[in-house]
Structure 1
């Protein structure tokens, strides 16, 4: 692995020598700050039980839809990337043969950084080096010091939020919180999508379980709302600071209680139309905001993904297999009913994400530049790449400044990629600020204050840490 690429001290910094020097100084100010990760998908049980990581393919290839989607696009069948169909070493060989596909991609950047700094690989991946790299990573994974808890400390992670089902007992979070040998914070996040999206194949079953477990004895829509409120309180009691909502669109709607009850019962009977589904999700997004105003959980909204775009792949291999595709969203009109009632509510924090970057300057920055509750979610999913992150800063800063953004969100299931992702974000922030300094649009002293704020203070402030 070429150190001039994977670990070059100036990677992602400006090419202009003068601006690069400013960026170097800004980066030095923040590169050793602890990692604050307020939204992600690492399983708390893995950290609590200090579970050894699996083989290289199971760790770095098969669960990562960023990786499998591009390999599949080159003509490799999904079957060849499934552990039930191919052995770990053969999947790794397929990945290594496909490695040139990742040049210029965010995945390629993160993976290169991991291979060098986490796994100690020094040769470029290729068909010829596949077996040697598989063996080298396997040996590293077998080391006693290469366990989640040890890496949590080595990666300098201070806070890591997980994403959790509303009926999860949060036992791993409880164990970690009361373990005197563990010094980080692993926080649960309330994620109710499968209980709100009536198009979800298990929605009916999930709702019955939810009402039975936490509905205070009520059986209808009232019991459903009470159950959600009760489970949110349970999460707060166990350290949660936010509730996350992976909605289809950012639409919100306040229904009359009788209309909401009728729609809920129509859905339970299996008679809901597509329009009913859209209306119910919009109403429940409004209700989740109301609950956040009451219980203090930060509300994050992640809309705009057409989930499971290729039905045959979904039917054969399930969700999160690389064919979720972004579409355009309308935040200004969609979120207005919610903001009419809660946009100026005391201590309500609403973090808005998008996969449609055209809304950054047109809608999200103006919203965050007026409503005290609204914060700009960091570039997410298809947009958490270096150039896209620079476009984000350019799009929103002139309208909303730096103070209205959430700080970086890694949104990852890949534990070993966390430092690479946060490191990339810090380099991008240094690069953007360095350009403003070089153009005499901000003083260098002020830029040093700003970069500490966007890297460290913003996520603490926005997520009430």
Structure 2
């Protein structure tokens, strides 16, 4: 059987190998942004087979399979789990050059000890082997967190959630990882979205109040922030296409909000005014709580209307949005800084040509509050692969200070995604190793290795204030 040995994957020089194996590889994981189900962790879910664990919900794999002309029935449709896995096994050999080829073999190796190259020829054998291994509690949901030394995992949670699963995780003996909520109030900001009025009613119920005015809305959001804080939340998260900044008074925003509550459509300008003002108020609340604010910017979502109608949103039909960001981002951060209430902020862009601009922008607002108070977020979504990571790391190092970087995250719904941290660490060590070999950095491995370890884990501990540094 042909193998794909991953031991030295991406480690192209001896310095990279030394940095990775002696400094990076054994570091714990701080996964500060993902979309895992806290309910699955609380129940220590046992996955029925490799398709449920590995393929369900993974739009990266879905997009690749569609690109290869595989029928949708074998991707998200009615085909059986075994058939879907066999279709994926046929796809993998054709993914040379795509990060999915590396990820897939890393995942098979790290979860199941399989060093063989996945193909149609060995798919049945691998399916049976993995099905047997999935009976082991180390491959149940909470067991996976422990196996990969995930010290902290921050899920993504709507303000209306009761966070009951997070409470149960805290109370369950044997779950050593901290699984904490992240406050994601996108639905409260999407004022023109269908069902906005219904959502505001649900938010009021969660906050035990009636929201009949904009002041009520701010009060409800503050109440939910306090509730999330009690459960251990220390981060917020926001998703945008283009990033709005349009000034308005609270009175003007209140009128816009009332229009939306009554079912009226608001104009594009009014929407921007509402979102800007509300996000500024939220930023102040985060500052008061000592939270970090994440801004995920630049996705244009659900572009294939026919397929969205057929299988639903967030199914792999999203793209990179190209747009101007510098003026609005600087203005937004400056507005919070004027009141001395700018929280720690991580800015991600799906448009990689923004990296240098974002690095220069956040440099305008760094302060003595903390090292790297503002962060250029890790290479995100389409870019969390070798070339994207190198582009982000080089922009950060050449314009900012890479030693303060809080590192990688999975941004995933899959419990099989933790090797993405390994993949990132290999790329990181490759870059530092090249700098050493080219004489740009000294061959002082304890010094450089310490920076690598900080980026892998310790900086996140210091930045978010959860867990302990190594």
Q: Same fold (TM over 0.5)?
A: yes
**Superposed displacement of residue 64, structure 1:** 0.3
Residue 49 (structure 1) aligned with residue 38 (structure 2): no
**Superposed displacement of residue 288, structure 1:** 2.1
Query: Aligned partners of 2:284 and 2:324: how far apart in 1?
Result: 21
**Structure 1 counterpart of 2:441:** 442
**Superposed displacement of residue 346, structure 1:** 6.2
Q: Is the 8 A contact 1:247 1:281 kept in 2?
A: no
Deviations 1:147-179 (A, max 9, x none): 122222111111111111111111111122233
Residue 205 (structure 1) aligned with residue 198 (structure 2): yes
The counterpart of 2:135, out of the listed 115, 127, 142, is 142
Q: Is the 8 A contact 2:336 2:342 kept in 1?
A: no
Deviations 1:274-307 (A, max 9, x none): 4433443333322221221222221000011111
Query: Aligned partners of 2:57 and 2:272: how far apart in 1?
Result: 30
Q: Is the 8 A contact 2:24 2:425 kept in 1?
A: yes
Q: TM-score, normalised by structure 1?
A: 0.93
Q: Is the 8 A contact 1:252 1:336 kept in 2?
A: no
Any idea what SS the aligned residue of 1:251 has? coil
Deviations 1:300-354 (A, max 9, x none): 0001111101111111111111111011243321122321232473672010001
Residue 133 (structure 1) aligned with residue 126 (structure 2): yes
Q: Which moved more, 1:124-133 or 1:302-311?
A: 124-133
The counterpart of 1:188, out of the listed 176, 181, 186, is 181
**Superposed displacement of residue 462, structure 1:** 2.6
Residue 303 (structure 1) aligned with residue 261 (structure 2): no
**Structure 2 counterpart of 1:422:** 421
Q: Is the 8 A contact 2:288 2:341 kept in 1?
A: no
Q: How does 1:98-137 map to 2 (within 5 A)?
A: 98-137=91-130
Any idea what SS the aligned residue of 2:139 has? coil
**Superposed displacement of residue 91, structure 1:** 1.2
Equivalent residues, number:
455
**Structure 2 counterpart of 1:13:** 11
**Superposed displacement of residue 215, structure 1:** 6.1
Query: Aligned partners of 1:436 and 1:185: how far apart in 2?
Result: 35
Query: Aligned partners of 1:117 and 1:11: how far apart in 2?
Result: 13
Q: Is the 8 A contact 1:390 1:428 kept in 2?
A: yes
> CA, structure 1 residues 180+358, in 2 after alignment: closer, same or farther (shift >3 Å)?
same
> What is the CA RMSD across the aligned residues, in angstroms?
2.0
Residue 385 (structure 1) aligned with residue 378 (structure 2): no
Query: Aligned partners of 2:206 and 2:392: how far apart in 1?
Result: 42
Residue 408 (structure 1) aligned with residue 405 (structure 2): no
Any idea what SS the aligned residue of 1:444 has? coil
**Superposed displacement of residue 461, structure 1:** 2.5
Q: TM-score, normalised by structure 2?
A: 0.92
